Structure 1
Amino acid sequence: METLNTEKTGSGKPLVLVHGLGSSVRNWDPVVPLLSRHRKVVAIDLPGFGSSTPPSR
C-alpha cells in the first residue's frame, strides 16, 4: 500500500507546497514557519521521495 507523507501546520486558507524533482518536504523548512502564521500549510512528499513510499507497479 502506498503512503503519501504530508506535514500540516497553521490555520486558515490552505496552501499546498509541492517540492521539486529529487527533493522532499524538507525544502520548505525555512519558509513554513512564516507561511503558517497566515495560512494552513500542507507540504507533501511526492511518491518515492522523502518519507512517501514509491508508487506500485
Structure 2
Amino acid sequence: MGRHVGTYMGEDRKVSLEQRDDVQEAAKERLRDAQWTDGTIAGVRRAAHGQGH
C-alpha cells in the first residue's frame, strides 16, 4: 500500500524546497506506519528546529 506525504506550509511562509523535503523526511516513516500523531509531531519539531526555535 503506498502513501504519499504532502506538506502545506501556508502561503505567507518562506520555506525552501529543501526545508520542506527535510520536514517530510522527518515524518515519513511514522506516517507510512499510520502513526499519524507521532508523524505530525516529528514534522513539526523538524520545522521548528529549521526555523531556529
Q: Normalised by the size of structure 2, how large is the TM-score?
A: 0.28
Larger radius of gyration: 1
Greater helix content: 2
The answer to which structure, 1 or 2, has the higher relative contact order (CA under 8 A, 6+ apart) is: 1
Greater strand content: 1
Q: Normalised by the size of structure 1, how large is the TM-score?
A: 0.27
